[in-house]
Structure 1
Amino acid sequence: MQEMVDIILTTAAFEQDTSVLLLDDAVFHLKTNQNAQNSGYKNTTTLFDLFPTMDINLLFVESESMAERGLIPEMLTQSVQLQSRDTLVDFMTQFDIVFSS
């Protein structure tokens, strides 16, 4: 995830329109009061907190990923726009470049 955050911050630093879509377990990176210490993951909350200062204001989360993990938008550190799994292919066609990890 760290590498993807680096790509996101780099594209934003060069004033590119940047949006982020989180799927599957990646949704946990936005969970409030997360404790990454025992999970084996790095705490990326502070990195995601940089997004608004870098003009990364379009943060999307797959709604099914959240539901499958018992999360609701109010449990996240940032406001997100929900995107349904069955519309992801059409959703991603609106972007010129898509990175995934």
Structure 2
Amino acid sequence: MASKITNTVKEAVGNTKEKLGHATHNENMAASGAAQSAQAHAAKQQASHERHAEGLAHNVEGNTQKATGNLTNDHSLKARGHANDALGNVQRSV
């Protein structure tokens, strides 16, 4: 979560530098700001995709545990499956 906040701040700073650069006709500053903003945005997207993939993996693991728990009448395994599935849902929604 800290990287999401950090990258959001870097993206905002980059956007500000880009706008300030355009306003002052400083194209180097504008280009630097645009690059900073784009890099931070890409990092945020990558982190989001990684969290989503981790969430899907937890969903699959949870569903497998729930099904196995049902077949074997193992309530503990079934409960772990529900927990993993819930964790996956949270990771995919953040």
TM over 0.5: no
TM superposition score normalised by structure 1: 0.22
Considering Cα pairs closer than 8 Å and 6+ residues apart, tell me whether 1 or 2 has the greater RCO: 1
Bigger radius of gyration among the two = 2
Structure with more of its chain in helix, by fraction: 2
